[in-house]
Chains A and B, each alone.
Chain A
Amino acid sequence: MENHPILSSRRNIYIYFLFWFIIIITNFLLLNLALRLDTSAALGDSLVFNVLFSWLGLSFWYPTRYISFEDTKFYRILLNHIIGAVVVSAFWLLCGYLILIEVLRFDDIYQNFFFSTLPWRFPIGALAYFVITSFYYLIIYYSGFQERKLHEAELKGLITQAELKSLKFQINPHFIFNSLNSMSALTTIDPEKARGMILKLAEFLRYTLANNDRQKNKLKDELHNIKLYLEIEKIRFEDKFDFTEQLSEECLEQEIPNMLLQPLFENAIKHAVYESLEKINVNLSCICENGYLKIEVSNTYDPGLKSKKGTGVGLKNISERLKLIYHQNDLIQVIKENNIFKVLLYIPQKNIA
């Protein structure tokens, strides 16, 4: 906080002087009614001393800002401000005296009154100094607190972003190099098909790389990319798998976290198709209901397969991502029965009844 908390805004200046105006009125009434000072003397005294202090008060901000609690010892702060209070109070009374008696020439009765109340006036000035200074400290503390809170929220956001980034799908190098190898073979066997495969791979890579910054995409677009992937795998593995889908137009327009489904299809290919000697069926079905887009990706697998279990990293990442994005931890379900491996995802949608 660098700017003067009062002078930096017109509104605060009004409030500040309104506050002093009330003090002036109160002070005047006190002098006039309770202490029986005549009207002009009471008015002059109240006006001069309070206006003076209101101006002085504005300047306390500068020392307060530099004598901060964070890097100065407490007794030094206290000492500084006690000296400050004494000097300010003395200066204030001297100025008031000079204006009222030397300049405005108030009468002897007032002079007597002034000197008799001096033992009161001095501590009142010092006290006012402490009140205003404390007020400034409060502002500094509060704004620092707010800033920290803001900073913390910012940091939290950054962490979430970083986490999301680390959980996001990454292109599998096996897939890329094996595809390149297939293309290399196709260039002489079937150049047309090779070109087709290159174009598909290019489109797949472009989508996958370009979507690193966006969080969500329409299911339609995600699906297009997944189909590119499956078509490329199909060139590599020919008749080793079939892909079927059941979904409605409504589902296609819903948004899902980008590249969320890709690892599911990669798993199906990697664990079922790569490992199997038989034909595998990969199926996708989507339904929109009860505020959720329900996506089911399933694949058959070779029952004779005593293969390595996957590490589960792919599924865990999906689950973590859903948790971070939707703040719900029951959005994924994995079912393995009757030689079918099935993953169910529930993606919250605002526009589905």
Chain B
Amino acid sequence: MEKMNKVIIIDDETLAREIIKKYLLSHNEIEIGAECSNGFEGVKKINELNPDIVFLDIQMPRLNGFEMLELIDNPPVIIFTTAYDQYAIKAFEVNAADYLLKPFSRERFEEALEKAMINLKNKKEQSKIIKELIKHTSNIDEYLERIVVKDGPKIHIIPVDSVKYIEAQDDYVLIHSTEGNLLKQKTMKYFEEHLSPDDFLRIHRSFIVFIPRIKKIELVEKETYKLYLDDGTSLPVSKSGYEKLKKIF
């Protein structure tokens, strides 16, 4: 017998999950591993069950579909389902796993499933596509309002205004926030681009600082400056960082 493909459906609306289940009924080669109604549950189930295909809504409580994908180590084949999301449409124009615009017909659904099956066969390719996709969507999206970090089994959601500063650490960044220090696998460049420039400033190759927390800037020696945060932390300032600081203060 052919290997069964495991599917997870993640959507906060019962009826939206129902229709997918209904369409899947005629597919004997597919079993539904789990249904989730929010992002937290989704991340947990995906990591636990290791599904082949995930139907994923974008707008959901707590963690949206994109934020979820950031937290999954082994992304399965994703079929987005969304009501009206210009970002998703744009993202998939560049790189199609597939997306379904609600409401969708059975024919359209079958098409997406077929594409997903083909993608399953070369999964490596697929995870590359997903990564690309995340990059693109966040590119188009507005500035970040919260940062999601996975810390072992725990998921932290850090509102950007509780961040003190971000420090580069090899392939990671260390996010220093009022809620503790958390490591995330992203680049400084990513944060420089995705945090609002009104609130965040890269003052050094290795430091991005939350502007409202800056207390003072001090001249240490000729052309060398140090920046103090309101909690007393001192951070080095590079020459170009100082130029940028001069512009805002």
Interface residues of A (CB under 8 A from B): 173-174, 176-178, 180-186, 188-189, 235-238, 274-277, 305-309
Q: Is the CB of A306 within 8 A of B13?
A: no
A223–B135 Cα distance when bound, in Å, is 44
Residue of B nearest to A272 (CB): B61
Q: Is B59 located at the chain interface by the 8 A CB criterion?
A: yes
A184 to B157, CA, bound (A): 34
Is the beta-carbon distance between A181 and B15 smaller than 8 angstroms?
yes
A275 touches B62 (CB 8 A): yes
The yes or no answer to B19 lying at the interface (CB within 8 A) is yes
Question: Cα distance A26–B228 when bound, in Å?
Answer: 94
Q: Does the CB pair A184–B61 fall under 8 Å?
A: no
> Cβ of B120 < 8 Å from any Cβ of A?
no
B11 to chain A, nearest CB (A): 9
**What residues of A have a CB within 8 angstroms of the CB of B61 in the complex?**
274-277
**Which residues of B lie under 8 Å from residue A274 when comparing CB positions?**
12, 59-61
State in angstroms the CA–CA spacing of A176 and B22 once bound together. Answer: 22
Q: B41-55 CB contact bits vs A (8 Å, 1 = yes)?
A: 000000000000000
Is B117 an interface residue, CB under 8 A from the partner?
Answer: no
Give the number of chain B interface residues (Cβ < 8 Å): 24
Give the distance in Å from the alpha carbon of A189 to the alpha carbon of B101 in the complex.
20
Nearest chain-A residue to B85 (Cβ)? Answer: A174
Report whether B146 and A185 are in contact in the complex, using a CB–CB cutoff of 8 Å.
no
* B212 in contact (CB, < 8 A): no
Chain B residues whose CB sits within 8 angstroms of the CB of A186 once the complex forms: 15
4 closest Cβ contacts across the A-B interface? A181-B102, A177-B83, A185-B19, A184-B103
- The A-contacting residues of B in range 148-178, CB under 8 angstroms, are 157-159
CB-based contact B19/A181 at 8 Å: yes
Q: Which residues of B lie under 8 Å from residue A307 when comparing CB positions?
A: 62, 145-146
B22: A residues at CB distance < 8 A = 185, 188-189
Report the separation of the CA atoms of residues A296 and B27 in the bound assembly, to the nearest whole angstrom.
51
B13 touches A177 (CB 8 A): no
> Given contacts A174-B84, A177-B101, A274-B61, are A309 and B16 in contact (CB under 8 A)?
no
**A277 and B15 contact, CB distance less than 8 A:** no
Task: Give the residue among A176, A184, A185, A236 with the most B Cβ atoms within 10 A.
Answer: A185
User: A174 and B59: CB pair below 8 A?
Assistant: yes
Contact string against A for B residues 18-29, beta-carbon threshold 8 Å, 1 for contact and 0 otherwise: 110010000000
The CA of A183 and the CA of B104, in the complex, are separated in Å by: 11
Name which residue of chain B comes closest to A182, CB basis: B15
**Cβ of A237: which chain B residues have Cβ within 8 Å of it?**
12-13
| Cβ contact within 8 Å between A185 and B145 | no
Least distance between A176 CB and chain B CB atoms (Å): 8
With CB as the reference atom, state the residue of chain A lying closest to B162.
A306
Are the C-beta atoms of B145 and A177 separated by less than 8 Å? no
User: Least Cβ distance of A9 to chain B in Å?
Assistant: 62
For the complex, give the distance between the alpha carbons of A124 and B25 in Å: 108
Q: How far is the CB of B80 from chain A (nearest CB, A)?
A: 14
In the assembled complex, B185 has its CB within 8 A of some CB on chain A: no
Identity of the chain B residue whose Cβ is nearest the Cβ of A235 in the assembled complex: B15
Indicate which residue in A180, A189, A238, A276 contacts B103 across the interface (CB closer than 8 Å). A180
Docked-complex contact A173 and B145, CB < 8 angstroms: no
Residues of A within 8 A of B159 (CB): 306
B82 to chain A, nearest CB (A): 9
Interface residues of B in 127-146 (CB under 8 A from A): 145-146
CB-defined contacts of B83 to chain A, threshold 8 Å: 173-174, 177-178, 181
Contacts of A236 in B (CB 8 A): 13, 15
Specify which chain B residues have a CB less than 8 angstroms from the CB of A184 in the assembled complex.
Answer: 19, 102-103
**Do the beta carbons of B103 and A177 come within 8 Å of each other?**
yes
Q: Which residues of A contact B224 (CB under 8 A)?
A: none
Pick the contact of A308: B18, B146, B158 (CB < 8 A): B146
